[in-house]
Amino acid sequence: MKILHTADWHIGQNFYDYDRTKEHLHFLHWLKRQVQERQVDVLLIAGDVFDNPNPSAGAQRILYRFLREVTALRPGLQIVMIAGNHDSGARLEAPNPLLEEMNVSVRGLAARKTGSGEIDYEQLIVPLTKDGNIVAWCLAVPYLRQGDYPEAENYAQGVAALYRLLYDRIEDKTQPVIAMGHLQATGAELSENDRSERTVIGGLEAVSPEAFDRRIAYTALGHLHRAQRVSGRENVRYAGAPLPMSFAEKNNKQGVTLVEITGTAVAIERIGFEPLALLLSIPAKPEPPANVLEEIDRLPDGEITPASPYLEVKVLITEPEPSLRHRIEEALQNKSVRLARISAVTPKSEKDLPRISGELQSIDPMEMASDIFRKRFGGEEMPDEMKKLLQIVIREAEQ
């Protein structure tokens, strides 16, 4: 059985007010070709299918057209899709009666049984079939919010208990078991200063990879945008996002993961993908305006196209520069780049506040609070209980 693992599409995302529809279509066209040429049996989409819980009609059309075209192109293909923290689980599940006709299984919520209120564990176990026969099982667990798991002391323990109970319900454990999840695993590497990966999750809710039984053939994770294995476990992986979501991710390598299971043997291959538009930051570190303008002058001339890079300009300023943006925009006339942001850094902010000198949206509220606490209380760390309470407030505000 050949399984293709992908995640974090974020369809509908605007990048600094630039529409990314053509970039997403470019990726999905490439993905259809991979499914066909590599004769994939199962496509796993591990959450954050859309960029927000209320996607536009256009974003939804992109997804459902892809599902129809790829299942027609590769008869027998099975698709399992789970919701991420950016998705509305209920909205994602709404077309299930139609999608099931195309062999597409969507799990957006950890539903509970009517009457008993018990988690419907069976609903989260999806049989994987080939030639009409069940050949493997998928634990299709969407992003879990507070209370979506068995009663436990904390979030991480509750999530681990859920996976344990699901695995125990697999009757024939001689058949391969695949796990899916949308979460932050301990030991995984986050992109530096990338708030998009920290939203809702947060370090206090990180789940140990030991939550996934060692007998599980492969664990397909979503949420972190950098492709990676977790804590040295080859078969517990993030596929990564197909498009960089912020300038903090500009050096990430995009792609998908191909998993081939033959008996008890699991072969894993990374398939690289080149996004339509790249991200470019100049200069390498903030420099005075004159140096920055010189670097802009060296950029290639040409028309703006959907493949033109997004540009971040980093400027070191020592005094007010009211005309700075106008000068930069003038210098970029006839350059084949799209100006996304100007990051103006002062020597003081660069020296004293390295974590908050960049774009406001990239700041992790918990990190900022921890910094302030240390400065006010002589370098002491914020107590865990206070962190837990603050995390609840942050989560409620973001939701």
pLDDT for position 361 = 55
Chain position carrying tokens 């919701």: 83
Residue 125 CA, chain-centre distance (Å), reads 23
Alpha-carbon gap, residue 263 to 270, rounded angstroms: 21
pLDDT for position 398 = 67
Alpha-carbon gap, residue 357 to 173, rounded angstroms: 52
pLDDT for position 192 = 64
283 cis-preceded (ω within 30 degrees of 0) = yes
pLDDT for position 365 = 82
Instruction: Tell me which residues of the chain have a pLDDT lower than 50.
Output: 199-202, 349-358
Helical segments of the chain, H only: 21-37, 57-73, 89-93, 96-99, 155-168, 195-198, 289-297, 324-331, 347-352, 365-376, 384-398
Alpha-carbon gap, residue 77 to 196, rounded angstroms: 31
* Cβ 179 vs Cβ 47: under 8 Å: no
pLDDT for position 143 = 95
Alpha-carbon gap, residue 367 to 36, rounded angstroms: 44
pLDDT for position 377 = 66
CA 249, 253, 256, 260 torsion: positive or negative? negative
Beta strands in the chain (DSSP E): 2-6, 14-15, 18-19, 42-46, 78-82, 104-107, 125-130, 133-140, 177-182, 218-222, 228-230, 233-238, 255-262, 265-272, 279-287, 310-316, 338-345
Chain position carrying tokens 């000068």: 327
95 cis-preceded (ω within 30 degrees of 0) = no
pLDDT for position 362 = 61
CATH superfamily of 2-272: Metallo-dependent phosphatases (3.60.21.10)
CA 394, 395, 396, 397 torsion: positive or negative? positive
Chain position carrying tokens 């918990």: 366
Under DSSP, the state recorded for 170 is: -
Extract the tokens encoding 164: 């344990």
Alpha-carbon gap, residue 69 to 33, rounded angstroms: 11
* Cβ 24 vs Cβ 11: under 8 Å: yes
Extract the tokens encoding 19: 């529409």
pLDDT for position 196 = 57
Alpha-carbon gap, residue 283 to 315, rounded angstroms: 8
Question: Nearest Cα to 162, choosing from 174, 176, 180, 175?
Answer: 180
Chain position carrying tokens 């002062």: 346
pLDDT for position 353 = 47
Domain edges within the chain: 2-272, 279-398
pLDDT for position 348 = 59
Extract the tokens encoding 150: 């068995």
